[in-house]
Each structure stands twice: as C-alpha cells, then as structure tokens.
Structure 1
Amino acid sequence: MNLLNKLKKDIVIGDGAMGTLLYSYGTDSCFEELNLSHPDDILNIHKAYLRAGADVIQTNTYAANSLKLQRYGLEDSVDKINRAAVKIAKQAITNESFVVGTIGGNRGIRPNSFSIEEIVQSFSQQLHYLLDEDIDGLLLETYYDFDEMEAVLPYARKETNLPIIAQVSMQVPGIMQNRMPINEALLRLESLGADVVGVNCRLGPHHMLESLEQVELPKTALLSAYPNASLPTYTDGKFHYEGDADYFRKSALEFRAQGVRLLGGCCGTTPAHIAAFASELKGTLPVTEKQVEVKKEVVQVKPVQPKRTERPLQDIVKERSSVIVELDPPRKLNTKKFFEGAQALKEAGVDAITLADNSLASPRICNTSLAQLTKTNIGLRPLVHITCRDRNIIGLQSHLMGLHTLGLHDILAITGDPARVGDFPGASSVYDVSSFELISMIKQFNEGLSPTGKDLGEKGVFSVAAAFNPNVKYIDKAVLRLEKKAKYGADYFITQPVYSEGKLIEIYNATRHISQPIYIGLMPLTSSKNAEFLHNEVPGIKISDSIRELMASLKDDPVQSAKEGISITKSLIDAASELFNGIYLITPFMRYELTAQLATYTNTINSQVLRRKLNANSIVK
C-alpha cells in the first residue's frame, strides 16, 4: 500500500520534532549537517518515533537548501546532506511505514529575506536530490509566506506524481500572515495540486484546533496537522518546551473530529507526544463529513481614523521649498541646549527638526521623548529616526505603536551604524529587518496591520522618509537602492551631506525619473580637523579635495574656519535650491546657531528662486 492509499483509508500518525531532540542533546549548530557527521544520532531518533507509533517519518532536511546552508558555509553540500538524510530514514523504516522528504519554508516574518527566484532555484535543487533517492512522498512545511508556497508547490507538482503534503503556518490563529483565512489558504493549496493540506508549527493544540474549526473538508485533498508542544521558555541560556504528552493524548480525538488524517508534532514534541496521539487514534476510522459553522460577518466599529494635524512633509516639499534640520539628542542628561536650539530653529522658519536614533551607535537621550516634548512645548514638528540596529521586530512594532499613540507620524527609516563603531563595541546589532523591510512594515501599519497580519484596530498615518547616500563611486547603484526603497513604500528621501556643486548636478540628473521628492543634505564644516574626520572616518560622507585644502589653509584660525564653512554651505544652498525643493541641514556639535543662520538664508534664497521662476513663467506666457 502506498502512502496516499493509506491516508485515504486510515488516520496516519506522523513523527515529531527532530531539532528539539538534537538541541536537548546539546547540539546547537546545523542540524542537517549531522546527517553526514553523526548519522547514528539521526537514525536513533527516527527509530524512537517509529517505536512510539509513527507511520510516517520525515527526512532531516528541513533547512537543507543552499539558502539556509550558506550561513554555515555548507551551500556546496546540499547534494550530500539530502541524499544521506533519505538513506538514514530508509534504514529505520519497516514495510509498514513511510519516508517523506521534507523541504521547509525560507520566509518567515521577513517575507523579503529571499526573492522568489532565489527560493525556487534553491527548492528545485533540493527537490531533485530527494526525489533521486526514491522517497514515498514530499512534505512542504512551515510556510508562513503564502507567496512562497504558491511558487514552490506547482513546481513540485510538475516534477513528481508522489503524494505532496503542503503545510502552512500561522502567526495568528485562523489567518495567514497576508490576512488570508486559513480555510481559503488550504483550498488554494488543494487547487495547486497538493494531496494533503494542513498546518504546522507556531501554535499548540488549543489554537490549532480553534483554527481547524474554520476549515471545511477539501473535496479531493486530505487534512494534516502538526502542532507545537507549547510555547517555548528560556531558562539558563537554553530554550525548552513544557507541554506534556497527556495533553496531546486528550486533544487527539478533537483533531480527528476536525477531519485530520495525518497527525504529527512540530517544535517541542518528542516520541512521548507521538505515542500519546497513537494510543488514541490507532485503529479509529477517519471522519468523512464535517459541519463547519459559517460565522456571520461581524461588523466591527473601529476607532475614528486618526487625522494628522499637519500635512505630510512629502506633500509640502512637492509644492514649495522646504527646510528641515537635524538636531541630535544630547549624549548627557542636560537638555537645556537642545531645547534652546529647537526654539531657535522654529524661529528660523524650519518645517521640522529630525532627531537621530543613537547616531554612530552611541547612546543618546531617547529621540521619541525629545520629539514629544519638542512638539508639545515648542510647537515644532519632529521627524523621528528609527534604526534597525537596536530593536528586534517585537520592539520595532511596540515602538511604532507608541509613536502612533503620541501622534508622532513623521519617520526616517534607516539601517543604523553597526554597534561596533560606537561606545559599546561588544554590544549586539539586532538587524531583524533591513531598512527596506522596516519601510514596508511601517506602510503596513498604515493599513492597520501588524507584520504578522494581526488587525491593529486602527490605521496608522505615518509618512516615511528613507536615506539616500549619493557619495559613492557609481551613483547608478545608489539610485537602484533608492528605487527599491521607493518600491517598498518610501514617501521621500533625505541624502547624506553633499559637499560639491558637481555632485548636486549629478544627483539631479540621476534622480529626475524618481517621483518621490528629495531633501539634499548639507552640513557646515567647522574646521580642517572636522573636514578630515568626516571625509576619512564617517561612512557615507566624502568632501572634495578643493574644500579640504581650503579648510586646511585656515586650520590656525578657528573663527575664519567657521566663517568659511558657512560660506561653503551657502554656496551649496544657492546651487541646490535651483535643483531641489528640499534642503536638509545637519547641525554640527550642537551649534544650532549655525543651522539657524543657514535656515534663514535658505528661506531667503528659496523666496528669490520662486520669484525668479514665477517671473520666467510670466514672460513665457
């Protein structure tokens, strides 16, 4: 009897977690590599699950693809690892049991971590190595990103007639990450050619059963479920699961009642959990009819859509000239000078001040706190920087929710300097997401959805700026990144400081096709040392030889050096104002009087430029 025939006739018991057991033995590296270095350990785990009552075991190949193996330098061992995994599993089985080749999903909460093209290429390579070893079926498991499953499932169906089990995973019970109801998702998998459709990972029996209550029996496919043992806990530097096997035994008949034909375990499960399922379900007949209660659409009364009290900066700079100024949060607890600077900049007529998020990876006063006080006490719009460096995705979501609650809607999303460049070089850089994904995440908030697809109950009204570094050898490559950020949802761009009129013209010509407005970054130099430091040690800043030579000639005259720095910046403002509506002034060393002076000058120049353009249009007419 083949696997599919058995599934049509009986309730079939799958195995449980492989990684959980290996981790409990002290292994914390590449589990798939153990197929080569410790085959006996893998074989013994397979045998333990078979003794517990499993009818189907899966190969130890969940992450045995080139995309995941490359983190261990094993991308050239995909062939050996997958073939070895099948051979080990086949040593364990009897004539009454089956081996399915497992291929895991690559995208989780970061749907853009790999392109679909990369995933399909990696998938096809792994698939063919598994098929070459004469497996009994395929198990595609832990696919959070439905686009990924939709790409690989049809490919697998085209390549083999073996039974295909396609299992997706939910962050939130009942819905996929893209907000697709689980019933709709499983029916879609059936239409794409899966023989068995189901769910695995993330959820324990309680929430998985709750989700399956919404699932109707497919017309041709069969249902599967592989719940987690429980939520993991972290004690003394190790993860572990506390769900006991008896809890699984009590839930077994409920899985049967929901129409599940293939029942196994995922994270945290052991042979004891599988034995608990087997003890209740071996010899029972599967359910062939199921009544799914159609839930009436509940009209939810959502809170009033928050309204911005000010227009987004991208709208302002599209219509008129605009000046924003970066004023760094202090490194020390005294904020007197910071708020003096914010007041002076308001009086100079700037549209907003931007507040960096621990720039150069050095701790400063929380920019959110200063932003709220600036908005409330001074009446000046704050533009809050958010880096990917300091917060994991949990912290980022919480931070965005806090900004929304405070009414701080202007954000600059950036990657952030790595921790090792700052005051604490031993600190961790998180980088759960890239700046691209952070932009996308913020825009999803504007749809009222969290990264997991959970309803936030209210839509955000964030406008998102992105960084643009034109100080590179090949500006076309920088523009490609800019285009990608625009695709991910950036509303406008802010550049690194520019120090030559030639570079301004180059930027203008290279970005004329971009519809999003650009603020040109300008920072006054204060001395020759300042110029040399910025040019040689600060990433993303390059200063022309002529300016560095000029500043060097004044190195013994600090007053004249500062005046020359202002003069250079004014000259750049003159040039930039002819090409761009947005000027972004960066305050050096909290010397806000310099940027206040330059902001006033910029507004004067912008008025002159506007009058000149109006006069030119009048003459043409």
Structure 2
Amino acid sequence: MQIQNELSKRILIIDGAMGTMIQRRKLEEADYRGERFKDWHTDVKGNNDLLNITQPQIIIDIHKEYLEAGADIIETNTFSCTSIAMADYDMQSFAYELNVEGARCARIAADEYNAKDPSKPRFVAGAIGPLNKTLSLSPDVNNPGYRAVTFDEVAIAYTEQIRGLADGGVDLFLIETIFDTLNAKAAIYAIKKYFRENPSGKGELPIMISGTITDASGRTLSGQTLEAFYTSIRHARPISVGLNCALGATQMRPHIEELSQIAECYTSAYPNAGLPNAFGEYDEQPHETAHIIEDWAKEGFVNIVGGCCGTTPDHIKHIADQVKNYSPRQLPVLEAVL
C-alpha cells in the first residue's frame, strides 16, 4: 500500500480549509448556479460542494494551491455531498454526481503534481462529513427519544457518496469532523458493505478517521471521551485516527498527546487556525500554527498534520517546512494474544 509506505518514512501533510479558500473568491449566487442551475428554484449560494459541477476550475485551482504549498493528501470538496445534507437545497438527486465530480477535480490536480515529481506521491482523500442530522441526539429538546433520521437512512446516504467517490478515483476515504460516533459507524458500515458488494483486484481502499473534541471537557458532542471514541471505531482498522476542527492547535495538544499513546494505527491532526474571534474569523497566523504543530512532531505525537477551518496554503507551507526534519510517530509494538 503506497500511502502506508510513505507514512512509515515521513510525516505526511494534509491540506487546509476548502471553505476558507472559496470564501476568498467572494462568489455570488450566479457563480454558484452556473449555467446549468441558473433557474433553480431555491437559493444555492453557500453550497460549496455544488461548485464541483458549476465551477470545477475553481476547485481544481484550490487543490493545486495546497499541493504547491506541500500537501501530500488533498481532500475532495465533498464534505456535504450526501442526499441528506443536499436536501437543504432540494438537490438530493445530484449527490452521486457531486461526489464523482469532486473526486475528479482532486484527481486532476493530484495527477498533475504526481507527473511533475513521481518521487513524492500525492493522494486524494474522499471527504465524508458528519451530516447535518445526528443519530445519537434529538433535535427536539422536549422529546429526547426522537431522531430525525435512522441508521439505515444514514448508511444508504453514505453508500451513495462512497460509490461516487470511488467511481471518481479517490485513493482513500476520510470520515472526518466526527461529533457523533454513531454517524461515523454508519459511514464505516457503508464503506465495508460497498467493498463486499463491489470487490476489485485492488481490495478495500484505506480509511482515515478523524473525530472532533467539541469543548474543554475533552468529549465529542455525543458525549464520548477520546479513548471511548477510539475504542468505538478501532474495529474498522483505519490506517489513521485523529482529530480535526472545533479547536486550535493549542487547545488540541493534550488530546493529540493522549491519542498518540492509545492508537494502534497512525495518528492525524489538523486543527483550526486558533479559535474564532467575535466575528467568526480566524486570526492565528501561519507561523504560529506551524510552531505549535512542530512541537507535536518533535514529541513524536503525529504521522499526518495539516489544517482545518481558517487555514490557508500559507499555513500548510509553514507546517510542511517545520515538520519535514522530524521523524514520524512510530506505531506501537503490540503484544501477541496467547
């Protein structure tokens, strides 16, 4: 497995925020609609995943900016590309196509850079977001037993997304920003089911899993500690487990240290550019984020690092430059069970 070979040799760099880079382009409603959706019956501005179809060159260019900055892994622009999430725009029927095109955009960029320098392979991670509906929590405070969606519905939606990403040519799957482990388990189930029903000579694609600690308690939104979260998903045998979003690097550090001590697989971390200010914007400068992540590398906590909300190609370049001379975290030697 090529990515496993690379992980054993060096700390890999994952890209930064797609949304931040799209916002910089100050796109308007007409830009999102393009020609194909110019008469769509609902507003679509803010549906960043739709740009895979209507403005693919913008997405390809953003991928290239991150690759130029030093990213080894780029994430497809498919964070919300499920029929469940696309229902907000009445675009459920386009979920499969959005995933195929999102994977294609990333594939074009990665293949271009792989051709330039085959000695430094770049990988496309199919981004699978947490959904806008949760299996563990009720949206109705007066009815805690109510669920807006069922496990089967979530699994079906993820299966369609996974099929689109696979058909579009991703190298691995990234189940990310997990605040509800049951949603993540539905995604894991969908991936395993997809490969059982669609066997290929290549075998299953690797899975990266990245959770989100939402506050100072060190728990996910659905109430799990980090160790409980890892225990809940380790059966999937992910190539890596990690954390992203919600926290800046300073706040994430103790959790990454803990994860590095319990994970049997590689570890990943891509924090936000600090905490948001009063206007919801991120002020942490690239050299500040990179300095903190360099300390993680020095301590041997990580195998994959990058950025989430508020991070840019400048952040990724600084991170890549700071960690390139450090060895990756070594996998633990597991004792044989007699």
Hey, what does 1:54 align to over in structure 2? 71
1:71 partnered with 2:88:
yes
Q: Deviations over 1:466-514 (max 9, x none)?
A: xxxxxxxxxxxxxxxxxxxxxxxxxxxxxxxxxxxxxxxxxxxxxxxxx
Any idea what the Cα deviations from partners look like across 1:195-215, whole Å, max 9, x if unmatched? 211111101101111212322
Counterpart amino acid of residue 130 in structure 2: G
Do structure 1's residue 151 and structure 2's residue 186 form an aligned pair? yes
- Structure 2 residue 250 is matched with structure 1 residue 209: no
Could you say which residue in structure 2 is the equivalent of 1:185? Answer: 229
The within-5 A match list for 1:9-408 is 9-27=9-27, 28-93=45-110, 94-95=113-114, 96-106=121-131, 107=133, 112-160=147-195, 161-173=204-216, 174-218=218-262, 220-233=264-277, 235=279, 239-256=280-297, 257-288=299-330
Equivalents in 1 of 2:223, 2:318: separation in Å? 33
Contact persistence 2:300–2:328 (CA under 8 A): no
User: 1:158 Cα deviation (Å)?
Assistant: 4.3
SS at match of 1:213: helix
Corresponding residue for residue 433 of structure 1: none
1:155 positional shift: 3.0
Q: Is the 8 Å Cα contact of residues 59 and 99 (structure 1) preserved in structure 2? A: yes
Which residue type is aligned with residue 203 of structure 1? L
Distance, in Å, in 2 between the alignment partners of 1:171 and 1:282 is: 29
Question: How many angstroms apart in 2 are the aligned matches of 1:102 and 1:289?
Answer: 25
Q: 1:157 to 1:222 in 2, by over 3 A?
A: farther
Matched ranges for 1:429-440 at <5 A:
none
Which runs of no fewer than 5 residues in structure 2 stay unpaired?
A: 28-44, 115-120, 139-146, 196-203, 333-338
Secondary structure at the counterpart of residue 41 of structure 1: helix
Mapped partners of 1:8, 1:140: distance in 2: 22
Structure having the higher Rg: 1
Shift of 1:32: 0.3
Shift of 1:219: 5.8
- Kindly provide the amino acid, as one letter, of the partner of residue 170 in structure 1: I
Partner Cα distance (1:286, 1:114) in 2 = 40
How many Å separate the matches in 2 of 1:6 and 1:188?
27
Instruction: Report SS of the residue matched to 1:241.
Output: coil
**Contact 1:89-1:99 at 8 Å conserved across structures:** yes
Distance between the aligned counterparts of 1:40 and 1:61, measured in 2? 15
Structure 1 residues 183 and 255, CA gap change in structure 2 (3 angstroms): farther
Quote the Cα distance in structure 2 between the aligned partners of 1:79 and 1:258: 39
State the AA in 2 paired with 1:98: F
CA separation in 1, counterparts of 2:247 and 2:274? 7
TM-score scaled by structure 2? 0.79
2-side partners of 1:219 and 1:269: how far apart?
26
Q: Secondary structure at the match of 1:252?
A: helix
Q: Compute the RMSD of aligned alpha carbons.
A: 2.1
Which residue type is aligned with residue 289 of structure 2? F
Show the 5 A alignment for 1:414-433: none
Tell whether the 8 Å contact from 1:212 to 1:258 is kept in structure 2 after alignment. Answer: no
Alpha-carbon distance, 1:177 to partner: 2.5
Change in 2 beyond 3 A, CA 1:98/1:68 = same
Q: Distance in 2 between matches of 1:123 and 1:276?
A: 34
CA offsets 1:373-394 (integer angstroms, 9 cap, x no match): xxxxxxxxxxxxxxxxxxxxxx
CA distance in 1, matches of 2:326, 2:277: 35
% same residue: 30
Distance 1:264 1:67 in 2: 28
Any stretches of 5+ residues in structure 1 without a counterpart?
A: 291-621
SS at match of 1:227: strand
Relative distance call for 1:204 and 1:190 in structure 2 (3 A) is same
Whole-angstrom distance in 1 between the partners of 2:289 and 2:19: 19
| Deviation, structure 1 residue 113 | 4.0
TM (normalized to structure 1)? 0.44
Q: Which has the higher contact order (CA 8 A, sep 6+)?
A: 2
Q: Deviation at 1:283?
A: 4.1
Q: Distance in 2 between matches of 1:78 and 1:126?
A: 7
Aligned residues: 287
Q: Deviations over 1:157-180 (max 9, x none)?
A: 343411100111121242222332
Deviation (angstroms), 1:246: 1.1
Alpha-carbon distance in structure 2 between the residues aligned to 1:253 and 1:100: 23
Q: Which amino acid aligns with 1:196?
A: S
Q: Does structure 1 retain, via aligned residues, the 8 Å contact 2:260–2:267?
A: no
Kindly indicate whether the alpha-carbon contact (under 8 Å) linking 1:153 and 1:194 is maintained by their aligned counterparts in 2.
Answer: no
What secondary structure is seen at the aligned counterpart in 2 of 1:240?
coil
- Residue 125 of structure 1 deviates from its aligned partner by 0.6
TM superposition shift of 1:183: 2.4
Give how far 1:129 is off. 1.1
Q: Aligned ranges for residues 534-545 of structure 1 at < 5 Å?
A: none
